[in-house]
Structure 1
Amino acid sequence: MQISPPTYLAPYIRHYIFLENSGENMRSLRLFTDGSSGLILSGDMNLYSGISEERMPLSFFYGTLNGYKDFYSKGRFSLIAVVFQPYFLNILLKTSAGETRNQIVSVEDVLKDRLEIFQEKLFNKTSPLRIINDLNVFFTRFLSDRMNPDHHFIAAAQQYILSHKGWVSSGDLQRFTGYSERQLERKFEYHMGMSPKKYGSIIRLHYFLSLVNNGMDHKNMTMLSYEAGYSDQSHLIREFKNNIGLTPKQYLNTENKMAVNFIEL
């Protein structure tokens, strides 16, 4: 279940996702980059890193990803994923997004017990819609003293890249913002945890995914890759492997696409 935030929070939160696993089987999961950071909230989840096999915190922030992260779960769980706009984690934690890139940060380490009430509600099976409404109130209050003019700049630059489906040159962005290439690199690194070029490539890839997921797979892969702006199919395959760890064909054959950037392997 995917829920949009209220309009006034849309510049900071893309959407909420509620996921529930009622079975006992182990599940292999992959979170891959969509340019966003986010928060995973759970009261009863046994989630482990797919590489180190380290148990994840019940609730954690994740920074923007260069590629993908694998996890596996054991037993039943319910969770709410809060998918942030890329720069919102920087606002919440008051730290460079570059420092949290590809990182998992325990909620308890940075916010102490401020989100514990939401974990308890998930554990007690409170309606996810009610929890999301309460989260809207929490984030609204949290924003009141944390904004600065740079956040409005980075939001405008992000929307410019989104409106062009990722196809924005360095020169285009310099003319739009009035900043030099080096200034843009620094601001994107601090607020979003990646370069403008990297963010554009992610948006371009997800535009291609939207074409496929919205029922346009009647066209062949080459036609879709051209429509998304790729010069050739090998370029698309390379981007897929770097960001998702799969080929386009493998992605299409993945049965359980739980969210736009979250799949079961």
Structure 2
Amino acid sequence: MQISPPEHLAPYIRHYIFLENSEKDVRNLRLFTDGSAGLILSGDMNLYSGISQNRMPLSFFYGTLNSYRDFSSKGIFSLIAVVFQPYFINILLKTSAKDLRNQIVSVEDVWKNKMEVFQEKLFNKADPLTVINDLNAFFTYSLSGNKNTDHHITAATQQYLLQNKGPVSSKDLQHFTGYSERHLERIFEHHIGISPKKYGNIIRLHYFLSLMNKGGDLKSMTSLSYEAGYSDQSHLIREFKSNIGLTPGQYLNTENKMAVNFIEL
């Protein structure tokens, strides 16, 4: 179940995802990059990361990913994923998003017991919409402080890249922001964790995914790749596999797409 935030939080939170498993079977999940960071909340989850099968904290932040990350869940659980707008983790935790890139950070380590009430509600099987409404109130309160000028530049540049559906030339970005390429890159990495170029490439890939999810098939892959701005299909496939870990055909055959960047393998 995917739930949108209220309008005043939409600039900071993309959406919430509620996911539960009522079976004892193992589920293999993949989170792949969409340029965002986020928060996973649970009160009863046995979640393990990657090949090493390291046990994950019950609740954790994840930084912006360069590509994808695999998890496996064991047993019955319920969780809420809060998918942030790219710059929100920097505002929320008041630390460089670059330092959090590809990182998993236990909520307890940075917020002590601030999330315990939400974890307890999930553990006690409270209505997820009620929990999300309470989270909306929590995040609204957390935004009461002022944001600096660099945040507004980052948000405006992000929107500019989204409007252009992907990469924009350095010259156009300099004209839009008034900043040099290197200065804008430093601002972007501090607030989002990756460069404007990397973020633009992610937007282009997700634009292609949106075209494909609207009814594309392998026969139309070439025309869709050109529409999304790829110079050739081999370039698309390389970027697809690097960021998602699958070929476009394998992605199309994936049955459970829980969100734009969250699938069950």
TM-score, normalized by the shorter chain, greater than 0.5: yes
- In 1, the alpha carbon distance for the partners of 2:216 and 2:57 equals 39
Structure 1 segment 24-39 matched on structure 2, within 5 A: 24-39=24-39
The one-letter code matched in structure 2 to 1:95 is: T
C-alpha displacement at 1:28, in angstroms? 1.1
Q: Structure 2-normalised TM-score?
A: 0.98
Match in the other structure for 2:2 = 2
Quick check: 1:197 aligned with 2:197? yes
Q: Is the 8 A contact 1:24 1:75 kept in 2?
A: yes
C-alpha displacement at 1:144, in angstroms? 0.8
Match in the other structure for 1:47 = 47
Instruction: Tell me how many residue pairs correspond in the alignment.
Output: 265
Match in the other structure for 2:242 = 242
Q: Structure 1-normalised TM-score?
A: 0.98
How far does the alpha carbon of each residue in 1:168-189 deviate from its partner, in whole angstroms, 9 at most, with x for none?
1111111100000010110011
Q: Give structure 1 stretches of 5+ with no counterpart.
A: none
- In 2, the alpha carbon distance for the partners of 1:43 and 1:147 equals 32
The one-letter code matched in structure 2 to 1:235 is: H
- In 2, the alpha carbon distance for the partners of 1:82 and 1:183 equals 30
The one-letter code matched in structure 1 to 2:168 is: V
- In 1, the alpha carbon distance for the partners of 2:165 and 2:231 equals 15
Q: CA RMSD in A?
A: 1.1
- In 1, the alpha carbon distance for the partners of 2:237 and 2:161 equals 22
How far does the alpha carbon of each residue in 1:187-229 deviate from its partner, in whole angstroms, 9 at most, with x for none?
0110000000000000000000001112233861101111111
Quick check: 1:23 aligned with 2:32? no
Match in the other structure for 1:140 = 140
Quick check: 1:106 aligned with 2:116? no
C-alpha displacement at 1:167, in angstroms? 3.1
C-alpha displacement at 1:97, in angstroms? 0.4
Q: Is the 8 A contact 1:91 1:146 kept in 2?
A: no
Q: Is the 8 A contact 2:167 2:197 kept in 1?
A: no
- In 2, the alpha carbon distance for the partners of 1:253 and 1:28 equals 15
Q: Give structure 2 stretches of 5+ with no counterpart.
A: none
Quick check: 1:117 aligned with 2:113? no
Match in the other structure for 1:152 = 152
C-alpha displacement at 1:51, in angstroms? 2.4
* Identical pairs, percent: 78
Q: Is the 8 A contact 2:218 2:249 kept in 1?
A: no
